[in-house]
Amino acid sequence: MRVRIGLEIHVQLSNAGTKLFCDCDSEYRGFPPNSNVCPVCLGLPGALPVPGRRPVVLALATALSMKCKIPERLVFTRKHYFYPDLPKNYQITQFEKAGGAPVCLEGELEYLDTDSWEWRSVGISRINLEEDPGRTYYEGDILRSRYAYVDYNRSGVPLLEIVTKPEIPSPRQARMLVEYLLLLLEYIGAVNPRLEGVFRVDANISVEGGERVEVKNIGSTLDLEKALKFEAKRQTAIVERGGRVERETRHWDSARGMTKPLRLKEEEADYLYFPDPDLPPVEVGKDLLSEAIGILKTTPRSLFERISSMGIRSEIAWSIVSTPPASKRFLEAEKMVSDKRLLGRMIGVDLKGELKEQGRDLHKDSAWPPAERIAELVKLVERGEYTYDTIKGLVLPKLASNPLSPIQPLLPEKVDDVKALVDEVLKRESKAVRDYLSGRGKALNYLVGQVVRAAKGKAIDPRKAREELLNKLRELEARG
C-alpha cells in the first residue's frame, strides 16, 4: 500500500554563537540550570527582542542550499500556546500566512540515496527561523512526578523548522534525507548534529484510504525509520480491515517500539498567529545574501562528486564526505600525492576504521593525523618503499594512537635478505613444499604467509616473497 511521508525537521543552530534575539550562548549545554538566560529569553516585561545577524545568515544559507524562494523581507510572527517552558506564552516564529514571511517558501532538497547511490529530491514547503522553548523535567514518569522543573537555558536558541512536502516514499528514504540534511547543515557551519537534543522530527504519514497522522518528537534518525515503519504497518492494517485511520497526533515510544496516541491534532487557527509588533521586518539585502553565499562554498554533494571524479568508489567517497575531519584531510593531502584512489582508501577505509577500532571520536578534528602525515604514507607506497599492506598493518595503528607522531619512527625495519628467509621457510616447511610440487597450488599461499611471519614484524613485500619462492620451487622441481 502506497505511503506518503512529510517531515517537519527542527534543528537548533547550535553553532550560531548567540540565541536568536539576545546575546546568550546558543550552545546551552553544560550551563547550570537557568544560568544561560537574560530578560529577553526569559520574556520579562519591557525586554525587547533584536534578531541576531549570525542566525539569520545561517538560515539564509540553508535556504539558498535548497534553491528556495527567499522573500525581500523576513517577518516574525507570534504563535500562541501555553506551557511552563514558554515564558511569554507565545513563541516567536515565522508563518507564511497572516502577514508573516518565512525565510523560505518553496524549495527543493536533494539528498543521496546510499542504497542506490542516486541523488533524489523532495520539495520544501517552507523554512521557518524561530526560537526554541525551554525544557521541562520530571522526576521519572511524567504522571507520577511530584514536581515539574523548568530550565530556560534553551529558551531562545535559534531553531530552523524545515517542512518538506509529503513526497517521501518510504521510512528508509526519510531517514536518509534527514541524515543528509544534518550533514549539509554541519558543512554550512550551522550545527553540530551529534549534540544531545539538537534536532527533533515530527513526521506526517498516511496510507491510501486513511487520514494523515503526525508522530511527534522523534529524536534520532534510527528512531525516525522505526517509528514510520511501525506507523505504516499500523495504518495499513486498519485500512485492510475496513476501518478508518483518524487524524491524530501520536508519540513514538522508543522503549516499546510503538507509537501511542497523544491528542487530536491542532489546526493553524488554534495558535492565533499574527506578526510580532516588537520586531520590525528584516530586510534581506545584498550584504546578508553575500554573507550567506560565502559560507556555501562546500556542500556534501559538491564534495562527493569531486572525490568520485577522481576514480574513488562511491562507498569510499561517501565515507570520507560523511566525516568532515576526513574530508578536510583528503582535500589537503590530495594536492600532495599522485594516487588519489590510494589516498581515498587510506583515509576513508583503513585509517577511519583504525580510529574507530581504537574508540576515537571520528568527528573530532584532533583525533585525525595531519594531512601531511597521511600524504607521506601514500608517497612511501607510491615510491615502492613499503607495501600498502605494511603501512596498513604496521603503521596506521601506531599513527591512529598518536596522530601527531612523526612518520619515520613509526616505520618498521625492512627485511635485508628475502632470499635467506625463503630458504629458511623451505627447509622448515618440507610438507608444504611436497604439497606444492605435487600440484596443490594453495600451498604457495601458505608458504608466503610463513615467510611474512618469519620477518618478525619487519617490513617485507609479499610479492617479492612470492616471486622468490616460485624461483626456488622451480629449481627444486627441475632437480626432480
What does the pLDDT read at residue 430?
78
- The answer to whether residues 53 and 11 touch, using CB atoms and an 8 Å cutoff, is no
Mean pLDDT of the chain, nearest integer: 91
> Kind of pairing, strands 258-263 and 274-275?
unpaired
What does the pLDDT read at residue 197?
93
User: Which residue did the predictor score with more confidence, 176 or 211?
Assistant: 176
Instruction: Locate 249 and state its grid cell.
Output: 497526533
Q: Where are the domains of the chain?
A: 3-291, 298-410, 418-479
pLDDT tens-digit map of 56-66: 999 999 999 99
Instruction: Note the residue count of the chain.
Output: 480
DSSP 143: T
Give counts: helices (H), strands (E), the chain.
16, 15
Q: How confident is the model at residue 446 (pLDDT cuts 50, 70, 90)?
A: confident
pLDDT tens-digit map of 21-49: 999 999 999 999 999 999 999 999 999 99
Q: How confident is the model at residue 305 (pLDDT cuts 50, 70, 90)?
A: very high
pLDDT tens-digit map of 449-467: 787 777 777 777 777 777 7
CA dist., res. 213 & res. 245, Å (int): 8
User: Which residue did the predictor score with more confidence, 145 or 163?
Assistant: 163
How many other C-beta atoms are found inside a 10 Å radius of the C-beta of residue 444? 16
- The answer to whether residues 274 and 98 touch, using CB atoms and an 8 Å cutoff, is yes
Q: How confident is the model at residue 143 (pLDDT cuts 50, 70, 90)?
A: confident
CA dist., res. 415 & res. 467, Å (int): 15
CA dist., res. 271 & res. 118, Å (int): 40
Q: With pLDDT > 70 as the criterion, what percentage of the chain qualifies?
A: 98
CA dist., res. 176 & res. 12, Å (int): 19
Give the chain's radius of gyration (CA, Å): 29
How many other C-beta atoms are found inside a 10 Å radius of the C-beta of residue 373? 18
What does the pLDDT read at residue 266?
57
If you search the block for the grid coordinates 616471486, which residue do you land on?
Answer: 467
What does the pLDDT read at residue 460?
73
pTM reported for the whole predicted model: 0.87
Q: How confident is the model at residue 134 (pLDDT cuts 50, 70, 90)?
A: very high
Long-range contacts of 460-463 (CB under 8 A, 24+ apart): 460/390, 460/414, 460/415, 460/418, 460/421, 461/387, 461/390, 461/418, 462/387, 462/389, 463/387
CA dist., res. 337 & res. 340, Å (int): 7
Overall average pLDDT of the 50-58 stretch: 97
- The pLDDT of residue 265 is above 60: no
CATH of domain 418-479: 1.10.10.410
Overall average pLDDT of the 393-413 stretch: 93
DSSP 404: T
CA dist., res. 275 & res. 98, Å (int): 7
Measured CA distances, 365 to 71, 73, 234, 325, 329 (Å): 37, 38, 43, 5, 10
Strand segments, DSSP code E, in 114-263 are 118-131, 135-138, 148-151, 158-164, 199-207, 213-218, 248-253, 258-263
What does the pLDDT read at residue 268?
63
**Residues 6 or more apart whose Cβ sits within 8 Å of residue 143:** none
What does the pLDDT read at residue 72?
92
CA dist., res. 403 & res. 366, Å (int): 8
Q: How confident is the model at residue 416 (pLDDT cuts 50, 70, 90)?
A: low
Low-confidence winner among 80-94, 164-178, 256-270 (lowest mean pLDDT): 256-270
**Phi, psi angle pair for 243, to nearest 5°:** -85, -175
Whole-angstrom distance between the N-terminal and C-terminal Cα of the chain?
72
What does the pLDDT read at residue 378?
98
- The answer to whether residues 8 and 202 touch, using CB atoms and an 8 Å cutoff, is yes
Question: Which of 186, 153, 197 is CA-nearest to residue 10?
Answer: 197
